[in-house]
Chain A
Amino acid sequence: MMSNEFETKASHKDKSHSKIAALLSVLFMGLGQIYNKQYWKGITWAIFELIVIIFFIKPIANGLHGLITLGETPQVRQRGRIIDQGDHSILLMAEGLMMVIVLVAVIGIYYLSVRDAYLVGKLREQGQKILSFKESVRNAWDNGYAYILITPTAISMLLLTVFPLTFTALIAFTNFSSPNYLPPRALVDWVGIEQFVRLFTMESWRGTFLGVFSWTIIWAVLSTLLVVFAGLFVAVVLSQKVVKYTKFWRNIYIIPWAVPGFVSILIFRNMYNGQFGVINEMLQSIGLNPVPWLSDPMWAKVAVLLTNLWLGFPFWMALFTAVLTTISKELYEAAEVDGATIVQQFRKITFPIVMVAAVPLMVFTFAFNFNQLTFIYLMTEGGPANANYNYAGHTDILLSWIFKMTLDNGQYAIASAVALVVFLIIAGFAYFNLRNTKALKGDV
């Protein structure tokens, strides 16, 4: 009883523990904790700040400088020999961006240390017990369990997803491109929105962008709809009462899904071959003219869509077969008694039910196909060539165009500008998806 009274008194006297501790921590990490008599904790924080000051201040300053200027000394050559290496703008940019991330992390940790000092100070004001160093380590382990679990994922995504995407966005605002602005031979500069202006106002770029963009949309919509309806069709046929050995048939139809994707795409590429392809051989043997599958723009698009249909329908068939088994037989029997035809039964009973299951997945598939560059590249490499397009062929989608501009033609800046436009489209999609996501409503 006595001690309790005493502590209450004490706490009244030192009312501003929290503020003093927080201020001290702002001054130098760890001071606040030492003031709070958490010596070990304070020393740990202080050592952290010392490490940052000694080892990181200079790289951070250099990094920021490099990010802003993108290099100042161009490479000097005389008679073909390099005399001065000069600055490598893109490496400077990467280092600068890294240092921005480090800086943000340090500021975040700084904030945490100040907050910690403030909170512990608050506890002292209220006269509560302060955890010892050992206890707070154990506490951190318990509370931080979730953080420890997500750390590997967070780091790998930060480094190999967030960092590259940010980097791409930055490059869109430079002139990084072949042949004149390629480091280390030449410096790269910030040029603001010049690439976007080129993309949307220069005739050849705008034409390419609009052409490739509209084919991307057509491709994504048609490829999604085709596989969904083909899958539904097969599932409905399989569910007919006359069909025996359903499982046997289903296993056959699932084979296109089981064959490794790149293998089947390359097989089709050969089967469609205009001169020697087996498909044209068959057409000729039944007296039809050979079709210039991969060399004619229109037929190439048809070929791409048909191949995707072959590859994609089994998943939907499997999905719809599962959904169909959940529809009660009585519904159909009742409909039959009422004299409904098979078509009517399908339209009024089957279709509405399966679509409920299919729509979220269709959105997902659409987004996937929008980015389906592996497929396009392996199948046609974007070809046949289009003379009116800059670095793109008739079947190129936005992503394969970006890929070609980057890997084959060194048009990094404008490729990044296109990528940024794709970002916005996908972000719109992500938003649409999020609105419909159960997991983010309520119970998170």
Chain B
Amino acid sequence: MFNPKVKRVLNSIIVYGILILLAIICLFPVYFIFIGSVNPGSSLHSSQIFPSPADWNWGHYRALFEKHDYVTWYKNTMFIAVSNMAISTVFGVLSGYAFSKFKFKGKKQGLMAIIILQMFPTIMGMIAIYTLLGSFGLLDTHLGYILVLAAGSVAFNTWIVKGFFDGIPNSLMEAARIDGASNTDIFLKVMLPLAMPIITFIAFNSFVAASMDFIMAEVILRSSSNWTLAQGLFTLVSGQANNNFTVFAAGAVLISLPLMALFFIFQRYIVEGMTAGAEKG
């Protein structure tokens, strides 16, 4: 057998070897997309993995704005994501609060319906959604798309918020009621401030989910001036030749940076929210 000291050194070599290998695996695609966006060539075929910084070519970023509808897609995506965030967070907080803190007829059935419905992806009803939006003239409009997205995420949000309020003692509400506060006062002044972490979580979640959705956008938004970033970037790289790879990479960097920044800012809420929500579900 090795003596303890050799064993400890060997142990740390193995551990650090694993850590470094993992770090490379995690970082390489991120590096690859960045280096793709400043590559001298323009297609995947001609792109290099380690071009010297002197050859870096920032022209692909300019091409995004000059040759493609990138700005339009970006604006569309942000508008859709923010609207979806507002609608599905407000709806989810209202109903989650109701399901947690009130007793009413049909509560159990309602909860049951929400748990079951949240498991069905919206896309399963796409023929109906298509027909429905078509007959209201909402096909290929942002409003129609936002409504569909919001309806898709509201069940999950309700469930998460309910789980959170379940953990807040009812005595708090009763004390406020004895002081003469109305239902609305209690909700706005006592409960909402307490729920800020979970509201942050579902707001972030709804924002990100909407800005990353591809499938539903593909069903509803048909004309390229209405497209989201996911659709636009997909068309840049979906062909076999990948002639636009570097432009795609530039576009991907510009959307990834803000979303990654948001992720790291809200990281604490996200991990907590994900585990709490899923455990209760």
Contacts and interface: CB of A to CB of B under 8 A. Distances in A.
B partners with A: yes
Interface of A: 90-91, 94, 142-143, 145-147, 149-150, 152-154, 156-157, 159-168, 171, 234, 237-238, 240, 242-243, 249, 251-264, 266-271, 273, 275-278, 281, 310, 315, 318-319, 322, 357, 360-361, 364, 367, 371, 373-374, 377-378, 381, 399, 402-403, 406-407, 412, 415-416, 419, 422-423, 426-427, 429-430, 433-434, 437-440, 444
A373 B44 contact: no
Interface string B216-229: 00110000000000
Contact of B151 (A160, A243, A357): A160
B122 A167 contact: no
A378 B255 CA distance: 17
Given A238-B19, A270-B36, 6 more contacts: A165-B128, A237-B19, A242-B8, A255-B26, A402-B124, A440-B111
Nearest to A318: B271
B205 interface: no
Interface stretch (B59-67, B68-76, B102-110, B195-203): B102-110
Given A269-B237, A378-B234, A440-B111, A407 B98 contact: no
A267 B275 contact: no
A260 B212 contact: yes
Contact of B245 (A253, A262, A270, A439): A270
Nearest to A266: B237
Interface string B153-166: 01100100011001
Nearest to B242: A270
Interface of B: 8, 11-12, 15-16, 18-19, 22-23, 25-27, 29-30, 32-33, 36, 43-45, 49, 90-92, 94-95, 97-99, 102-104, 107-108, 110-117, 119-129, 131-132, 135, 147-148, 150-152, 154-155, 158, 162-163, 166, 183, 208, 211-215, 218-219, 230, 233-234, 237-238, 242, 245, 248, 252, 255-256, 259-260, 263-264, 267, 271, 274-275, 278-281
A18 B111 CA distance: 33
A402 to B, nearest CB: 7
Contacts of A150: 94-95, 98-99, 110
Given A147-B104, A259-B30, A319-B271, A142 B218 contact: no
Nearest to A444: B108
A94 B119 contact: no
Contact of B230 (A90, A262, A357, A399): A262
B117 to A, nearest CB: 5
A222 to B, nearest CB: 19
Leading 7 A-B pairs by shortest Cβ distance: A164-B125, A167-B128, A160-B151, A146-B102, A164-B128, A149-B98, A153-B95
B116 A276 contact: no
Contacts of B166: 439
Given A260-B208, A278-B49, A266 B252 contact: yes
Contacts of B104: 143, 146-147
B37 to A, nearest CB: 11
A377 B215 contact: yes
B95 A152 contact: yes
27 contacts: A91-B131, A142-B183, A145-B98, A153-B94, A154-B95, A157-B113, A163-B128, A164-B122, A165-B120, A167-B125, A168-B124, A242-B8, A243-B19, A259-B30, A260-B255, A269-B237, A270-B36, A270-B44, A360-B278, A360-B281, A374-B213, A374-B215, A399-B121, A412-B127, A415-B127, A438-B280, A440-B115
A341 to B, nearest CB: 12
Interface of A is mostly: helix
A278 B32 contact: yes
A248 to B, nearest CB: 10
A416 B126 CA distance: 10
A267 B32 contact: yes
A96 B19 CA distance: 61
Given A163-B132, A267-B32, A374-B215, A157 B274 contact: no
Contacts of B271: 315, 318-319, 322
Contacts of A143: 104
B23 A153 contact: no
B147 A160 contact: yes
Contacts of A164: 122, 124-129, 132
